[in-house]
Structure 1
């Protein structure tokens, strides 16, 4: 038989048992789905992390009360019970670090805030920052319209504010200049003095859905007991590590820590975030691969079982084909193709479903759709291997049937 005829014959045989064929392919689809969905989601998060870190700046790090990522357990109470970093400690730190860093910004924030202007309002998800004059430059924000905070805003706790582009679009949809207009944030009046340039999303969250007010006003009227964080920008990548070392020493002095006491604050660097995510990604990837491999082996056993049943059911057909001159290689090739079709069909279904499910995470993180090409190729190769390896024994058994005994079968 020519290859084309072999392929058609294998296709007709699978179509004759549609339900059985589909049930078999679903086993392969589940295994491929799990690995493709997980890898697509991890790539989406990875791109979001890379985007977020690039927005922070390569020479930037942050001092705060809590680590960037930590999980439950005994360590959680250690972080919660730490004393808050106070604004006075932040000012003392800035004084100690004067001339040793390019920018030092002090900020404190809270989420879930509502901003209104006349009869328009935002969703209650606005991020409200109390910040000093260096917040914008230290955190990579540029001013598009108006001005930045100035020292007198901080000194006199003025009710001024800068807003991001999300608030500009929501509260001023007609395009009017918001500078000089008064908005309310959680019922408290603020006069807009500037608008930040659109910055986009980082870590799946918009960086434009924010309001910045003087940190002194925040601490006096919003939340006096909030722990602050400090963003430090080194002069260059070459001086980055030295700046970190100086910042740790300055913070220990600002907090009054003696030499025998451990640090009661955390340093958040881009490298630490990346390492933390990579460890998490590696663990999830290994777990997903093991689960997928087990599912695919189970599916392979199912393919072998179905093909053995098929050989038994078609024994007389095999005998007729052999009696009219069909070679063993032709029969073996047909049954191998049937097993391969089952495995690859399940693999393609799993790839499409897995990529679709994984891209839900990409959408949530405002990342363009992703297809993990390397894992798609690996999945197709594995499915091919599963189909051939688990189909070769039934194919060999079919090819080795004695034509006389096969013709006697009913």
Structure 2
């Protein structure tokens, strides 16, 4: 079968890999000059199945009000007359209940765990290196209230069999020695030793290069204009370079996926939630993080990527705005220098970046078939595209090929929004 994959981010490229491995002819189309140059380019670097949770959770509306008032706010809301934004926000609020949270998380954790395991298999098989580390994630609590709240998180981790460690101040320093100089600024932490880190863009680029050398047709610098329709099926993809035809079509265009589906009347509630990151050289390895630390107060991840430190986080709901306000960079720098002073060189170029995370209002991505029998989706991963990329690619390749999936696809397709 000839499968046309729309999008060359980590989700599109991993999908192409598993489709190629299943024996399909694969064409990947992207407007950028190479792979992983948008949302996958400079994310926080975490592969964290244990933190695969919906943003729509009990208590989030109340917390959001407090966050909006903080100087270094983890949430920024810029309301505008945008029907898609208002619909998405309303749907998200409806999912902030105990029952919906439990259901949505159950749909995410299994896929995330499977994806991490598939990532290990893939990198060993192909010999891909991407500044990867397997030294866990430490969620750092600055207050006793945050530490007490970890009991609820641990109960959920117990339910899903995820290994964890509850650490006191000394335990946190033992896991991340660079925190020794700032140990008075936190009270404890929750560590997930099974989590990994790595450079998503580096991984995706190397995987795309391998695929290109093994028969996958990548068409970069190609604008996707519309899907062509004939008798209720997709008959081709209209691009600025002409019409591209296939037997099946996979939309993996992140936040830009919904616009392409309007021709078929498919209301996909994926909305861009902007995140920011900075990347700085390590100054002193003894003062820098060894893996990933999550600063619970500011919802910021600080990750070691080889000789670099990546600091990423915040959630800005402002449509398709990709501007880089100085005050957002200041928040990232504050978290880094407050916890790891002297760990990274921050007085020069820090490669300040923003990306549009494709968020669903309930949390899980949208993976599977659509009412159009040759149109499939693999999108809406939010902050977890890197965590879920390999598992999502494996799953969609099975669904397109009609083989038994290795992970349960229940509740992931677009029909859950009917």
TM-score range for the pair, normalised by the shorter chain length: under 0.3
> So what's the TM-score if we normalise by structure 2?
0.22
Find the structure with the greater CA-based Rg: 1
Normalized per residue, which structure has more strand?
Answer: 2
